[in-house]
Amino acid sequence: MTESDMRKAARENLRGNWGISVGVTLVAALLGGMAMDITGGDTFRYIINYASNGRGELPALLRTILVPVLSGVGIWGLLTFLVGGTVALGHAEFLLRQYRGEPLTFDVLFSQFDRFGTGFAQSFLRTLYVILWSLLLVIPGVVKSYSYAMTPFILAEHPEMTASAAIDASKTMMDGHKMDLFLLQLTFIGWELLSGLTLGIGHLFLNPYRNAATAVFYENLKKGAQPQADYVPPVEF
């Protein structure tokens, strides 16, 4: 399938499902989109440095306002770090059901919490591997992130797999196809720019569209690579 075919299939899958897809995608992003950034990120550090005029001290009033806010951000960041990987499995399950035309319900997003350990492990290991590869150069880290991209879909379909096995299976599936996924994502660049002009509101619709296209990519990729074929159970997480 071409990138155009995948986008067309994604639009077909979203027909009649836009409402629930937008809601599920938004909640999934809130619970896992910044899973590794438990400090609040550079944005908050920039705000603090700017407000303190480089002196390292905040005005009393601003400190009174920011401390609870930043504490809340830290708690939210910790929450996403802990549950983001498991929510990702539920989101992958939702996208696969959407692709297959099965009934969709919001609770599918939370259907994988009985596999919390596997969900956390796959997210933690993928992030760790990408960070380690990025220590060499940025590009190897980016390449490896594409290698591991199919992991949540594989785990959603194969609950018997461990996190390590699914990551290995994703690497096998994506061998020779990383550029294909990159080019698919690149076709959304125009929509990305338009969404930016709407102050991000357009992402409410762009992200479900892009996610649906990724599910189509995965299903199409499966035709040439079966992740469970050489599965050997490694150490459990």
- What is the full per-residue pLDDT of the chain (237 aa) written as tens digits? 899 999 999 999 999 999 999 999 999 988 874 233 322 334 344 444 444 444 445 455 545 554 555 556 667 778 888 899 999 999 999 999 999 999 999 999 999 999 999 999 999 999 999 999 988 888 888 899 999 999 999 999 999 999 999 999 999 999 999 999 999 999 999 999 998 898 888 989 999 999 999 999 999 998 875 444 344 334 333
- Eight-class DSSP state of 188: T
Answer yes or no: is 44 within a domain: yes
Answer yes or no: is 121 within a domain: yes
Answer yes or no: is 227 within a domain: no
Looking at residue 209, what is its pLDDT?
Answer: 95
Domain count, the chain: 1
Answer yes or no: is 214 within a domain: yes
Pick from 131, 132, 127: nearest CA to 148: 127
CA distances from 204 to 138, 167, 169, 213, 233 (A): 29, 29, 31, 15, 38
Report how far Cα 4 is from the mean position of its chain's Cα atoms.
Answer: 22
**Domain limits for position 105:** 3-222
Answer yes or no: is 236 within a domain: no
Looking at residue 190, what is its pLDDT?
Answer: 92
Answer yes or no: is 235 within a domain: no
Answer yes or no: is 234 within a domain: no
What distance in Å separates the CA atoms of residue 159 and residue 165, rounded to the nearest whole number? 11
Q: In terms of pTM, does the model score above 0.85? A: no
3-state class of 25 per DSSP?
helix
Report how far Cα 216 is from the mean position of its chain's Cα atoms.
Answer: 16
> The dihedral of CA 128, 133, 134, 139: what is its sign?
negative
Answer yes or no: is 212 within a domain: yes
A 10 A CB-CB count for 70 gives 16
Element (H, E) at 180: helix 178-186
